[in-house]
Amino acid sequence: MTETSKPAASLSLRLTAGALVWLAVLLALGGAVLSAAFRDAVEREFGHRLDALLHAMIAVTDVSPEGTVRLTKPLGDPRFNQIFSGWYWQISGPDGRLVRSRSLWDATLPLGPASTATGGTRVQGPKKESLLMVERNLEFPDAPTAVRVQVAGSLEDIDVGAHRFDTLLAAALALLGLGMSVAVPIQVRFGLRPLRALAADLDAVRNGVHPRLVGRYPGEVAPLAEAMNNLLDHDERLIERARTHVGNLAHGLKTPLAILQAEMHDRPESAALVDQIKVMTRLITYHLGRASAGAGSGRVQGTRVPVREAVDGITKSLSRIFADRSLVFDIRVSDDAVFRGQREDLEEMLGNLMENACKWAARHIRVTSGTSSGDLVLSVEDDGPGLDPEKAEAASRRGERLDEMAPGWGLGLSIVSDIADDNGGTTAFTRSDLGGLKATLAFPGT
């Protein structure tokens, strides 16, 4: 058995998380830009209104020969007559005297830089409120110095309007973000659909439904599918070559075994050897069929083999072979336990395990069946010396050969692991409560 590496984070999750983070950044930046642009536009419009009031005020401003400044007619906006209303005007005469709107009461507006056009400036009003002020320097023929004209308006309405806009903007962007948060996973799932189709096609190939990947894939996935098809073709050639070698070996062994069987046929003292030659011939024929038909490449779907029947047959054979040992077989296999696969596979796995148990047991052998989360679990136990942990772990690995171990173990356990793996199962070798080895087989979906 091979240890699988821990899978990385889901590709869908990574794509979705990255898109949502980028979306949040863009929405935040977009909201900030829109809010600043709205406030700037409103302030510019407000400045234009103040500038229009300033020009109206300039039109009605007059300076007497004595240097007295006055307005020839009121501006017409009642807010200039309300005390501390936030709307103010102020004129600084040549003689230094100030003419102010009633709304200023006894306060004054600060003077900006002495120029003919100072533009809109943020200043603090008499009630510590934020004002936007425009001002101009006017030259009159009868005035020895310039006359400073100023108009200021409260920015409170702009702040309230901007806050209302920011609230609506935040709600709209939040709604947009929520909609995109729902749309992004759907889009990612839709975009990754070809990969799921590829996985389904690979399962079909693994289950023998198709020999190659046959689906149509987008241009980004098609090279991967083509590479997998090339790999499948390469593996098929390697497997075919291995089957040919196995077939040649099996055919090469059948003839010498047939000669041996014929030579010993009429010798009663060689009956045991004849029986073993028959067993070897049967196994060679079976494995030759597996090599020719590719039966060893996976589970045979739809075949259900009663486990109890196979165990009883193996037990009878082993009882005759080890009759001089007086072994006790404790069979705890339920009648409804079934193995999905070939009977020869089940008998070879159980036969190897039970024969090894007989060789090493002091007296007791126990065979048990059960289920775990829908899986068929079979175990063979004995009261012999067992395996140390290192050798037990090595025996569980597919393809591991234990030829160096004492006779009776060796290839038997590794063959069991190979056949179990071919049938989608697993093997485990641990210490039994009987004192010896406990070999466990688990097969899914039975």
What percent of the chain is predicted at pLDDT more than 70? Answer: 80
- pLDDT score, position 399: 46
* Separation CA 336–CA 345 (nearest Å): 19
The C-alpha R_g of the chain, in whole angstroms, comes to 48
Task: Answer yes or no: is pLDDT of 34 > 90.
Answer: yes
**Of 76 and 406, the one with more pLDDT:** 76
Nearest to 218 by CA among 189, 192, 194: 194
Residue 116 carries which DSSP code?
Answer: S
**Of 307 and 245, the one with more pLDDT:** 307
pLDDT tens digits for 274-301? Answer: 777 777 776 776 666 655 555 444 444 4
- pLDDT score, position 302: 45
Amino acid at 191: G
Question: Residue 374 — very low, low, confident or very high, per pLDDT cuts 50/70/90?
Answer: confident
Mean pLDDT (whole number) for 181-189: 86
Q: Which H or E element spans position 388?
A: none
- pLDDT score, position 403: 42
* Separation CA 101–CA 82 (nearest Å): 9
Q: Is pTM, for the whole model, over 0.75?
A: no
Q: Answer for the pair 151, 133: CB distance below 8 angstroms, yes or no.
A: yes
Mean pLDDT (whole number) for 198-202: 81
Question: Residue 221 — very low, low, confident or very high, per pLDDT cuts 50/70/90?
Answer: confident
Neighbours of 241 (CB within 10 A): 10
For the chain, give the number of residues: 446
pLDDT averaged over the chain?
Answer: 80
* Separation CA 191–CA 194 (nearest Å): 7
Neighbours of 217 (CB within 10 A): 17
